[in-house]
Amino acid sequence: MPYRRLPNTDSSRLKALTIALEKGKKLTPMDLAFKQGTFQRVRSFLPKWKNAILEHKTTYEIQIKNNKEYLKKIKKAKLYISHFIQVVNMAIVRGEMQESVREFYGIEKENNRLPSLGTEADVVEWGKKIIEGEAKRKMRGNTPVTNPTIAVVKVHYDNFIESYNFQKMLQKNHSRALTSLADLRNDSDEIILSVWNEVEESFSDIPDDLKREEAQKYGLVYVYRKNEIGQISLLKDNESRIFNF
């Protein structure tokens, strides 16, 4: 005996509600297999559900699209921050700068290792440190670091920060859309359950096979269990053999 399976994805929920709405519009209240009050709930709720799904999809697609450009900018920022510190370290090795110069950039004077730039927060932190540190060092009359200059580093760092802030805004928009969709999901399930229960009740006086056939016209879904599928296949094979014989 097949059992009824309620929608378990947002798209299948949308399909179930859409079919119910179309039936409610097409049939008179007397012919409709579910209550008018339920139909009004479907008609009122469906636009909200469509908008929530659309907003979720749109914010996700925009976020993914922007992420490609964002990854390019953070890669550039990491590269220039790293190169700047490497140039400072090489100047120290050559004796052109003192080890103490590292302290301008928030690095211990004897630490010749590159700082970790593995996270967004690392890039934000170290970009700010070397930009501010180089400005302080130049104010004391020291020769600017070149190849790259801090001006070039700052261009790529500012591009990264702008993209970073924009990406965070997109993430918030997507998170808000996801929350809105989740908040409506329970209402969607409740309305669909009411429609389907009322449809089945409306056809309760006819044989089960006919009841399911009529109910499916309203979007109800029935599925067979695995063992039942095997039994059905066996019956069809037997029928085929008898017919061929």
Which tokens belong to 178? 């996801």
What is the pLDDT averaged over residues 16-44?
97
Closest CA to 82 of 72, 90, 92: 90
pLDDT number for residue 55? 97
What is the pLDDT averaged over residues 79-84?
98
For residue 230, pLDDT over 60 is answered with no
For residue 236, pLDDT over 60 is answered with no
Q: Quick one: pLDDT band at residue 240, thresholds 50, 70, 90?
A: very low
Q: Quick one: pLDDT band at residue 226, thresholds 50, 70, 90?
A: confident
The backbone torsions φ and ψ at residue 223, rounded to the nearest 5 degrees and listed phi first, read: -130, 150
Per cent of the chain over pLDDT 70 is: 92
For residue 241, pLDDT over 50 is answered with no
For residue 235, pLDDT over 70 is answered with no
pLDDT number for residue 224? 86
218 touches 2 (CB < 8 A): no
Closest CA to 196 of 6, 2, 45, 3: 6
For residue 245, pLDDT over 90 is answered with no
Element (H, E) at 104: none
pLDDT number for residue 242? 42
Using one digit for the tens of pLDDT, what is the confidence trace for 96-150? 999 999 999 999 999 999 999 999 999 999 999 999 999 999 999 999 999 999 9
For residue 158, pLDDT over 90 is answered with yes
> CA-CA distance, 124 to 157, in Å (whole number)?
8
pTM above 0.95, yes or no: no
